[in-house]
Structure 1
Amino acid sequence: GINFSVTEDLKFFDGYKFIKIFLTETTGKLLFKGDLDRLFSYRKPIAIHSDIAGMKKCVKLSMKYGTKLHICHVSKKEEIKFLKKYKTHNITVEVTPHHLLLPEGAENVKPDLGTEEDRKALWKELGRTVDVIGSDHAPHTIEEKKKGAYGIPGIETFLPLCLDLAFRKKISFETLALLISENPSRIVSEKKGFGTGKDADFTVVEDKEWIVDSRKFYSKSKFSPFDGMRLRGRIKTVILRGEIIYDGEKVKKIESREM
């Protein structure tokens, strides 16, 4: 993400998937105060965290310059209604499990959790206006949350929550695969497809019920709004570049790499 002034140097930045800008409040001093028009004129892929007013500005600029635009964490009916009109353009949309599942006021997150009507609007457009379900993982400690930090940990509940929805037939497995695998790969142009000659990155899941217990999370965040929730479907094995790194009980240490 950037929160500094837009400079000519951004024209020559390469190797990243998106420049992320925050047009509304979030944890930390990340609010973007630069020149939006100038930034979009560089035609570098942009991801935004925004309310409806910022979305309208960015969609207009995306269309003006042909800049690829990804809209993160859409949470309101009015946002979906607006974005639906522009899906034929170079614009993609993401929602989170907590904006799909949690009631208004249940957690301190940004964007705010919506009403039941908002959630219904998001559900209706999954696989249509909405291209991606993303975790919006915010690994705050309990102490940080007590001080008002926005967001919740999402990595370790993300796939199980999505699997639960599919096993309980609230969404098809085909649509789920599109939203959490195929579309994200297409949007970031990273490791497209699954087959001969491709990186062997995949996850094996099992149809098994279990109860969320944040005390067992690997993340430093030992809390979850989904604590105590019974879910159907969990991760059994994770294979990264052809090597097993998780087998249900242990995680093999792996080296991170620059993206």
Structure 2
Amino acid sequence: MLRVEGTIVNHDRVYNGAVEIDEVTGLIVNVGEATGHSDIDTKGCLIFPGFGDVHIHAREDSSGLESYKEDFTTVGQAALQGGVAHVADMPNNRIAPVDDARYEAKEALAAKCAVHVTLYAGIGPHTRPLTRHVPYKAFMGPSVGDLFFSSQEELERAIGFYRGKNVSFHCEDPVILNESKGEPTHEQRRPARAELTATEFALYLIEKYELQGKLCHYSVGQGLPKIAAAKARGLRVTCEVTPHHLFFDTTDLTDENRPWLQMNPPLRAPEDRTALIEALRNGLIDYIATDHAPHTHEENAKGISGVPHLDTYGAFAAWLIKEHHFTPEQIARVCAFNPGNFVREFLPADCGEGFGVIAPGYVGSLTLLDMETPWTVQREEVKTKCAWSPFEGFTFPGRVRSTVIRGKVHGVAS
């Protein structure tokens, strides 16, 4: 039995207590009062339910063609460093999981990951739902392989087969992207209006086809009222935001750093960044999801979009607490409770009540966030196989001390 005692944080309260985890079942068996005994050092730490990242790209599939960037083993290592106890991996692989056989083949590869992996299945112009209950991802604009659409009409024809399913949307309108492809900068080639138009269409599809919808890596402040209105009228829609859209904006771009700060959707204006922070704080945005996109430094230099973030997930949460005055409960909501709710219906029986809450019956995975030890990110320390971070040289005000996975302690901080 592992006993962890200290300052416990759930989405609804912070208190001094103790949690006991059965190391055989991996589940929490008791949460009670502090007695002065803890099996691990928690001084200066906040004890969160294990963080969850509902949007990553592990890159590995049965082709093996992109495993040089990342694989499920290195994803697990980076996740442990970032205090992330479970991840949800996107389907835009060379051999995309679009049917039962491909999904099961990728699932077998994911089994070696040190943290729990939920897999999205892909939606393309000619796909159909799997026979099992899984989450899906629809890429409106160009992506790897053929998992994307060239028009709203083509997308709606495909979504019609997925009525009632759990579908996440990459909201960039392909027609507007095509019209803008000759613009001089990446940010102008993927303008805010492409996201706004796609947001309106995604919300239309969620309502018409009774989807449980999620809007991925949201970046435009002007679209937030549309999401708020949809939620107010009862649509089952949630929304992600990435660390890079909360931390960087277009004023940070230079000729030198532009290749390392290129992603889809791109960085936006300072007022967008401010609006996203406030929407995350007030609950309109539901998840911090990294869109962890591990490409090599050489690939980014050639114009490939995407940045890695798993290693720095927990440290970024500490930054939100210290620099933007998020409460620990707010962090628990967007980093643990809501991600746990998202994956719960897809979990195996041995996960009990699931992730995201420190309570009996839930998975015994914890994130110990050291709020007294700053961390300057160095390339040599990151565990992602692509071996770099957009935060290199930046000092976060806190860091993950250790990550507990089903009652097993993984030390991080040196």
Coarse TM-score class (shorter-chain normalised): 0.7 to 0.9
Aligned pairs (5 A) from 1:1-259: 1=91, 2=122, 4-7=124-127, 9-10=128-129, 12-16=130-134, 18-26=135-143, 30-33=147-150, 34-40=154-160, 41-50=162-171, 51-88=195-232, 89-104=235-250, 105=253, 107-126=261-280, 127-189=282-344, 190=347, 191-192=354-355, 193-207=357-371, 208-244=373-409, 246-248=410-412
Contact persistence 2:240–2:287 (CA under 8 A): yes
Secondary structure in structure 1 of the residue aligned to 2:231: coil
Deviations 1:116-156 (A, max 9, x none): 11111111211421011111101111111112111101101
Cα distance in 1 between the residues matched to 2:399 and 2:145: 33
TM-score by length of 2: 0.56
**Which ranges in structure 1 are unaligned for 5 or more consecutive residues?**
251-259
Secondary structure in structure 2 of the residue aligned to 1:125: helix
Contact persistence 2:142–2:149 (CA under 8 A): no
Contact persistence 2:374–2:399 (CA under 8 A): yes
Secondary structure in structure 1 of the residue aligned to 2:380: helix
Q: Which has the higher contact order (CA 8 A, sep 6+)?
A: 2
TM-score by length of 1: 0.87
Percent of residue pairs identical: 26
Give 1:65 shift. 2.3
2:244 aligned partner, one-letter code: H
> Please, which moves more after superposition, 163-172 or 120-129?
163-172
Cα distance in 2 between the residues matched to 1:128 and 1:119: 16
Secondary structure in structure 1 of the residue aligned to 2:398: strand
Deviations 1:199-241 (A, max 9, x none): 2011112121120112221112222221111111111111111
Deviations 1:56-97 (A, max 9, x none): 112112112221000000001122122121113200001011
1:95 aligned partner, one-letter code: V
Contact persistence 2:374–2:395 (CA under 8 A): yes
2:167 aligned partner, one-letter code: I
Taking only aligned residues, the RMSD between alpha carbons, in angstroms, comes to: 2.1
Cα distance in 2 between the residues matched to 1:249 and 1:125: 31
